[in-house]
Amino acid sequence: MSFTSLYQIFLYQPLFNALVFLYNVLWSDFGLAVIALTVFIKLALYPLMQKALKSQKVMESLAPRVKELQEKHKNDKQQQGQALMSLYKENNVNPAGGCLPILIQLPILIAMYRVFLTVLDPTKLENVYSFIYKPIQINPFFLGVMDLSRSNMYLAVLTGIIQLVYSKIAQPKKTPSMASGGDKTMDFTKAIGMQMTYVFPVFTVFILLKLPAGLGLYWATMTLFSIFEQLYIKKKYKKND
């Protein structure tokens, strides 16, 4: 079975049918269906996000020891790498663990884009699962006001603002070693992080201005829940600490 077939069967079709089902049960409001589907996706990804944020917290706490090992073995990169891997193994943490939720969310975002492009086409509704009611047509409006089949400047800007808030909240906590400066690598990483904090929200607005507002609503809802998720998990681990 090809990758395209797997993508269709296990990602695109379930999302397509779930959106139609939620549209049927939520008073034929497309926007409410998008929000509800986003919440379900977010809940499904929560265990992975919790694990990623736990990994991030451990990495923050290990930052002083990482810098110490880098300084100790600065003339021997192989020894430095082995020492760092031993440190990560000792603390049961994967440095790349925080990237997993992003890697998983990307194909979902692409699938949702395809869903928004096809679900509003009445001819595509023939592909709905047999046990789900097939509406004649999907009304693309949210609360009877916003047409989610077209781009919406206000929603795009609002999503960018929400993304900015999330980016600032998700920034790693500064450790004493980071605050003291003097490390060009740390300074470069910090500079890149600061740029992404402000550049990515602008990029988000620019992209959503060219896409259907349904995708913007999905993105805004997902990011808004991510903010509360970050705050909850950080509070949880702070209490444990």
For residue range 51-62, list pLDDT tens digits in order: 777 777 777 778
Tokens of 143: 């609360």
Task: Compute the distance between CA of residue 210 and CA of residue 205 in angstroms, rounded to an integer.
Answer: 9
Name the pLDDT band for 229 (thresholds 50, 70, 90): confident
Please count the other Cβ atoms lying within 10 Å of the Cβ belonging to residue 216: 29
Q: How far is CA 117 from CA 74, 153, 215, 237, in A?
A: 52, 19, 10, 40
pLDDT(241) > 70? no
For residue range 95-153, list pLDDT tens digits in order: 766 666 677 788 898 999 999 989 999 999 988 999 999 999 999 999 999 999 999 99
Question: What's the mean per-residue pLDDT of the chain?
Answer: 84
Task: Compute the distance between CA of residue 122 and CA of residue 140 in angstroms, rounded to an integer.
Answer: 12
Q: Which residues, listed in sequence order, are joined to residue 141 by a DSSP beta bridge? A: 147
Task: Compute the distance between CA of residue 158 and CA of residue 164 in angstroms, rounded to an integer.
Answer: 10
Name the pLDDT band for 236 (thresholds 50, 70, 90): confident
